[in-house]
Amino acid sequence: MDAPPEKYAARSEADVLALVTANPFAWVVSAGEAFSATPLPLRPRLDEAGQLTALAGHFARTNPQVARLRAVPRALMLFMGPHGYVSPSWMADRTQAPTWNYACAAFECDITFDEGPEATRAVLDDLIETMEAGRPKAWGADDMGPRYEGLSRGVVGFRAEIRARRVVFKLGQDERDDVFADIMAHLQQDGPQDLAHLMDVYAAARE
């Protein structure tokens, strides 16, 4: 997988992990006899050094992509982070061209399914606990009572070992100071605040 231009590279592994964690709903894309794509919530898996080495999730067993991945267990996981259109109308210099600023990540992965109920429960509990964290009256799988066993049999957990990655943080690093200031002023007033925040974080990397 080709590396992005150096100016658009992640500052650190922590930034990559933050992107994946904050934007868990990703496309799982696979190819075999035909392309398949399913949007799924995915959770990171780290090694002892804190490096992102795998992703975990679950499919509905009735999803045709499961059979295709069993035959060819390779997939591309696509995460989209903060993004937004940048209009020249925001800028004092009207000769500027429109662009799109964004953060995204693509991971080439080898897929392993785990049929065991304990493995499925671990994947589901990790996702539920993450999504319910901090909520008043947070919900847990045990609240389902006996319904859990029946519903959980309809899904299959998987682990996706990362073999290659391409992570891009295109956040105005190559804009002139005056142009960048105009973009930031508009975003902070009316634009996606998550994009404005990330651009501000990466401002020191601008040329």
d(CA 164, CA 186): 36
d(Cα 62, Cα 191) in Å, to the nearest integer? Answer: 40
Residue 73 lies inside a defined structural domain of this protein: yes
Distance in angstroms (rounded) separating the CA atoms of residues 74 and 2: 18
Rounded mean pLDDT of the chain? Answer: 95
Q: What is the pLDDT of residues 52-100, one digit of tens each?
A: 999 999 999 999 999 999 999 999 999 999 999 999 999 999 999 999 9
Residue 201 lies in a domain: no
Alpha carbon distance 6, 26 (integer Å): 24
In a domain, 29, yes or no: yes
CATH value at residue 71 = 2.30.110.10
CA nearest neighbour of 28 among 38, 43, 15, 41: 38
Could you tell me if residue 200 is inside a domain?
no
Q: Please check whether residue 183 lies inside any domain of the structure.
A: no
**Any domain includes 196:** no
* Bridging pattern class, strands 25-30 and 99-114: unpaired
Could you list the residue range(s) of the whole structural domain that residue 143 is in?
6-172
Over 80: is that where the pLDDT of 144 sits? yes
> Looking at the domain assignment, is residue 107 inside a domain?
yes
Count how many domains the chain has: 1
Each residue's pLDDT tens digit, 26-60: 999 999 888 999 999 999 999 999 999 999 999 99
Q: How confident is the model at residue 207 (pLDDT cuts 50, 70, 90)?
A: low
Q: Quick check: is 59 in a domain?
A: yes
Name the nearest CA neighbour of 113 among 55, 68, 154, 69.
69
Question: Which residue from 162, 167, 84, 157 is spatially nearest to 117, judged by alpha carbons?
Answer: 157
d(CA 132, CA 200): 29
